[in-house]
Amino acid sequence: MRKVQLLGLAGMLLLTMGLVSACKVPEPDNSSGLPPSIDNGVEVVYFHRAQRCSGCIRMQDMTEYTLNTYFADELESGEIVFIAVNLQDATNADMVQKFGAYTSSLFLNDVEDGADDIEELTDVWFVLWDEEGFVDTLKDAIKERLE
């Protein structure tokens, strides 16, 4: 009986390990062949699902607020581009693959001479409901890439 329990536990452990490795977050595909929307500057790309919760709507609203308030000149000149992408729309499949998006997420792509340098910003989710914290986090990340 004890041997059967150990085998059952071992089987569960292997199954769990397999599930965890199968749920691995995809890495951005900087060689996807899909060109950035700009040659030099920062792409701010927000991926969302078709059905959006209040947090996902707030993420886009706060991102747009931060960009329009602190980076209006850069938006107007095209040095910063904001793109909201429905990751469930099949027409966006290449963009989803390029960024490695699998759920609602915010990415910065520091584009230099047409070459991508993609990074997901995860810290913004921890300060989503703290307006000052969100703005500071996103603003600092963008300023770092503009330097």
Over residues 125-142, the pLDDT tens digits come to 999 999 999 999 999 999
CATH class of 26-146: alpha beta
Does the pLDDT value for residue 10 go beyond 90? no
Structure confidence at residue 100 (pLDDT): 96
Task: Tell me what the mean pLDDT of segment 92-104 comes to.
Answer: 95
DSSP 8-state secondary structure symbol assigned to residue 29: -
Instruction: Return the closest-CA partner of residue 99 out of 13, 19, 25.
Output: 25
- In the chain, the percentage of residues whose pLDDT exceeds 70 is 76
User: For residues 142 and 44, is the Cβ–Cβ distance under 8 A?
Assistant: yes
Residue 35 binned pLDDT confidence (cut-offs 50, 70, 90): low
Sheet holding 80-86, edge to edge: 80-86, 41-48, 105-111, 118-121
Return the axis-axis angle of helices 131-146 and 54-70, rounded to nearest 10°: 50
